[in-house]
Structure 1
Amino acid sequence: MIPLLRVNRKSLITAAVGLVAGCGATGAYLQLSGRPLNTVSADGVIKTPASDANNPNNVIQNHYHFNDQQSYTTAGNLMTSSNGYKWDPNWDKRDPKSLVEKPINSDDLIDDYNEKLEKAKPVATRHLILIRHGQYNQSGETDSLQILTPLGREQADQVGLRLKQLGHPYTRMIQSTMTRATETAEIIGKQLANNNNNDNNIPVDSCDLIREGDPIEPIPCPDNCRSKPKEYFVSGARIESAFRKYFHRSDPQQSADSYDILVCHANVIRYFVLRALQLPPEAWLNFTLNNCSITWITIYPKGQVVVKSVGDIGHMPPNKMSLY
C-alpha cells in the first residue's frame, strides 16, 4: 500500500493481488478500490467531510478510508489500520532520509544535505521472480539423490519457456544449492540462453541461504511441527537473512530496472511473500505453491512493494501440474 499523505476525494487507489493455486490455472482475483475519504468519529461513526473555505477540495491529511470497515492513519513512519495492521515505509532501512544525516540548525549546510539526499534516492525498480523447483524424487535419502523426476524436468522446461516468452532483460539467476533447485535452474537457463533481450547467458549465482527449511513455527501449527524448535531457530535465521539480502529497494547507482530470478523452494517463497507484505510470517503454511510456479514481487524506488502473482501456473499444461 502506498502511504499517500494528501488524497483528494476523487482519488482512486486500487490494489490487486492475483492468486493462483491448487490443481488448475483458475484462481481468485481480489480487487480493493478506494472510496471517497471519510472521517471516523470517536463513537465509530463514519462521516463524509463537507467542503469549507479551509478545505475546498475535501482533502484529508494522514487519513485513509478504503471500505466501511477499515480506516488508516499515519503516525511517524508507520501507517496503521484500524485493525492494527502496520506498514513501515522504511522496512528495508534504505529510505534516503534515514541514511543521510540532516544538519541541525544550520542553514549553511542545508544545500549540501539536499544534494546528498538526492544522490541517495533510488531510481530503478527491482523485480524478483521466484520459481519453485520441479517435482523431484522424494524417496532419495540424501540431497544428491533427490533429483528431478521426468515430470519435474518437463515442468522446468515449461517455466523456462514461459520466462523466455515474457522477454524481460533478466539480470541474473540465483539458485538454491539443493539438487532439485540447481537442476531446475539449469533447464531454465537453457531456455533463456536464446532470449533476444539478453546478448549473453544470464549470470547464475548459487546461494545456501535459500535452501529449503521451516522459516518459523506456523500458526495454526500441525501436531507434527511442535517438536522442531531447533529447526525454526536455525532455518528461520538463515531464511530471514536471505530475505534481507535480496529484498530491498534498488541502490542509487542502479539506473535500469532489474529482473532477478530466484529458483528455490515453497517454504522459502511463502515466507518471502508474507515478509514482503509485512504480514504475519507465521501464516506461511496456510497456502501452497505448485511445482515450477511463478511468484512475482516488485519493489519500487520509494520502497513500495507489489506482489504481482503468487504461485502462477497458467503456463503449465493440466497434465503436468503437481504439488509434490
Structure 2
Amino acid sequence: MATRHLYVARHGAADAFGVLKDAGRRQAALLGERLAGLPIDNIWHSLLPRAAASAHELARHLPGVPVAEAPELIDHVPYVPSAAEMPRSWAGFFDGYDEAEATSGSRLAEALVARFAQVPEAARPDTYEVLITHAYPIAWLVRDALQAPPVRWLSLDSANTGLTMIEYRTGLAPTLVMFNDISHLPADLRWTGVRADARP
C-alpha cells in the first residue's frame, strides 16, 4: 500500500506588504528543523514572496531537497457559499466577490486537490512532500480530506507555520493526522496570523 505524506504549513509571519518578517524567518527555520529527520522528496510553495521566502528558509534544514513553485498553492478563496449556507455574520466577508472571481477560485481549488490530494499508484513508493501556502488553501485541503461540505473551509484557520499533516493511502479515505500544530514554536512565536481575540 503506497502512502502520500503531505506536510502543509502556512508561511511565516509577514508584514502588511507580504514581506517575511524576522519572526517569520525564525518560524520557518524552526519548522525546517522539525521536518529535518523526514525523507522529504519535494518542497512546494505558493508564488507569493512570503511563501517562497518561508520555503527557502525551511529548505536550509533539508539540504538537497528540491524547492519549486506550485501555482495551485496561491492564496485564493476556494468557495463562495450562498447566503443560505452561511451565518449572516459572514456575509460581509464576500462583499465585492463577483461571479468571475468565485469561478476562478473554484477552479484553483479543484486544481489544488487534483495535484496534491490524490492517492499514489499502488506500485509507487511512499512520497513525502512539504507545501508552504496560505490559510485558505490549507482549510480547503483539510475540508476535502474530511469530505466536509464546501462551506466548512470557512471555519478553519491556521497560524503562521502551523503544521498540518494529511496522509493519502491506496484504497482508503484520507487521514488527517494533525492540524495547525505549532509545538515547534516557542511561546513568543506562536499564534501569529490568528486574530488576537481567538488566541488561547
TM superposition score normalised by structure 1: 0.55
CA RMSD of aligned residues (A): 1.4
User: Corresponding residue for 1:202?
Assistant: 65
User: Corresponding residue for 1:44?
Assistant: none
Report which structure shows greater RCO (CA 8 Å, sep ≥6): 2
Counterpart amino acid of residue 156 in structure 1: A
Matched, 1:266 2:144: no
Q: CA deviation at 1:147?
A: 1.1
Matched, 1:277 2:146: yes
Matched, 1:291 2:178: no
Counterpart amino acid of residue 175 in structure 1: H
Q: Deviations over 1:4-61 (max 9, x none)?
A: xxxxxxxxxxxxxxxxxxxxxxxxxxxxxxxxxxxxxxxxxxxxxxxxxxxxxxxxxx
Q: Deviations over 1:164-209 (max 9, x none)?
A: 1xx121111111111000000000100112xxxxxxx112221111
Q: Deviations over 1:233-281 (max 9, x none)?
A: 2122112211111111112441x21111111110000011101221112
Structure 2 CA distance for aligned equivalents of residues 296 and 215 of structure 1: 20
User: Corresponding residue for 1:246?
Assistant: 116
Matched, 1:308 2:177: yes
Q: Deviations over 1:129-168 (max 9, x none)?
A: 1011011112x2xxxxx2101111111111111111xx12
Provide structure 1 residue ranges, at least 5 long, that are not aligned to the other structure. Answer: 1-122, 141-145, 194-200
Alignment of 1:15-34 (within 5 A): none
4+ residue runs over 6 A deviation: none
CA contact (8 A) 2:56 2:67 kept: no
Q: Deviations over 1:199-235 (max 9, x none)?
A: xx11222111110011111533331313313322212
Please identify the structure whose Cα radius of gyration is greater: 1
Counterpart amino acid of residue 304 in structure 1: A
Greater share of residues in strand: 1
CA contact (8 A) 1:213 1:231 kept: no
State the percentage of identical aligned residues.
27
Counterpart amino acid of residue 23 in structure 2: L
Match of 1:179 among 36, 40, 49: 49
Structure 2 CA distance for aligned equivalents of residues 224 and 242 of structure 1: 23
Provide structure 2 residue ranges, at least 5 long, that are not aligned to the other structure. Answer: 195-200
User: Corresponding residue for 1:131?
Assistant: 9
Counterpart amino acid of residue 71 in structure 2: D
User: Corresponding residue for 1:191?
Assistant: 61
User: Corresponding residue for 1:213?
Assistant: 76
Counterpart amino acid of residue 318 in structure 1: A
User: Corresponding residue for 1:163?
Assistant: 35
Matched, 1:152 2:7: no
Counterpart amino acid of residue 153 in structure 1: R
Q: Deviations over 1:88-121 (max 9, x none)?
A: xxxxxxxxxxxxxxxxxxxxxxxxxxxxxxxxxx
Alignment of 1:228-239 (within 5 A): 228-229=97-98, 230-239=100-109
Structure 2 CA distance for aligned equivalents of residues 179 and 242 of structure 1: 19
Alignment of 1:67-82 (within 5 A): none
TM superposition score normalised by structure 2: 0.88
Greater share of residues in helix: 2
CA contact (8 A) 2:6 2:131 kept: yes
Q: CA deviation at 1:290?
A: 0.3
Match of 1:224 among 85, 93, 96: 93
